[in-house]
A and B are shown apart, each in its own frame.
Chain A
Amino acid sequence: EADIYQTPRYLVIGTGKKITLECSQTMGHDKMYWYQQDPGMELHLIHYSYGVNSTEKGDLSSESTVSRIRTEHFPLTLESARPSHTSQYLCASSLTGLNTGELFFGEGSRLTVL
């Protein structure tokens, strides 16, 4: 079992609200990722981090921001949520070493913006 946790699992909020999706892992992985997943669509990488104080934008443009102050914690923030942000957000982590590559995923945070 992977030890990566996301909260909240489900969130329904109104337009304009600020939200933070939490992601924590207890495996000591240095690499962490946020993917956005829409129904019937592939996962798109929106943010990743190679370690503390290291964050990069992914392949899909996103208005969200991330921070990596501690190894185990990689929160995602939307300053002003809009209906277009409605989606499922999946957090993942992995070990250093190119010949591993396995990502461990959390159970996801499903966001609905009204």
Chain B
Amino acid sequence: AQSVTQPDIHITVSEGASLELRCNYSYGATPYLFWYVQSPGQGLQLLLKYFSGDTLVQGIKGFEAEFKRSQSSFNLRKPSVHWSDAAEYFCAARGDSSYKLIFGSGTRLLVRP
């Protein structure tokens, strides 16, 4: 069955430190991959997406993600976290013939001052 796994429920980092959020997918073929962010009381905002081509994808707010086919992973990274990055982060995927997104369970990021 198709699935998206985010193994970390919570992550706490200090402001200014680097960040990596993990995402693994299980699909028959390489899916289209997305990272969304949800601030408290808000909807989801797209950070970045991967369809094909360069496996390192740049997004908004200084985020990037790297697609690794051999590991079925699409980890999100940021070199220096800001307090405003505290939020819930969702990885999502869909097949190339479907419009429906499958979401992971999310990772809550806490930022220490």
Q: Which residues of B contact A58 (CB under 8 A)?
A: 100
Known contacts: A41-B105, A42-B90, A101-B34. The answer to whether A106 contacts B100 by CB under 8 A is: no
Q: Separation in Å of the A80 CB from the closest CB of chain B?
A: 27
Contact with A along B61-96 (1 / 0, CB 8 A): 000000000000000000000000000001000101
Residues of B within 8 A of A107 (CB): 41-43
B27 interface residue (CB < 8 Å to A) = no
Whole-angstrom CA separation of A4 from B42 in the bound complex: 12
Do B51 and A99 touch (CB < 8 A)?
yes
- Cα distance, A90 to B45, chains bound together (Å): 12
Counting chain A CB atoms within 10 Å of each CB, the highest count among B32, B90, B99, B101 belongs to B99
Closest to B2 in A: A59
Is A102 positioned at the interface, with any CB of B under 8 Å from its CB?
Answer: yes
A-chain residues with CB within 8 Å of residue B32 when the two chains form the complex: 101
Q: Is B46 an interface residue (CB 8 A)?
A: yes
- In the bound complex, residues from chain A placing their C-beta under 8 Å from that of B49 are 101-102
Whether A42 contacts B45 by the Cβ 8 Å rule is no
A residues contacting B by CB (< 8 A) are 2, 4, 6, 31, 33, 35, 40-45, 48, 50, 58-59, 90, 92, 94, 98-99, 101-103, 105-108
10 additional contacts, CB 8 Å, given A4-B43, A105-B45, A106-B43? A2-B43, A33-B100, A35-B103, A42-B90, A42-B106, A44-B103, A59-B100, A103-B101, A107-B41, A108-B42
23 of the cross-chain contacts (CB-CB < 8 Å) are: A31-B99, A35-B103, A40-B9, A40-B105, A41-B106, A43-B90, A44-B103, A45-B101, A58-B100, A92-B43, A94-B99, A98-B97, A99-B51, A101-B32, A101-B49, A101-B94, A101-B99, A101-B101, A102-B34, A102-B49, A106-B43, A107-B43, A108-B43
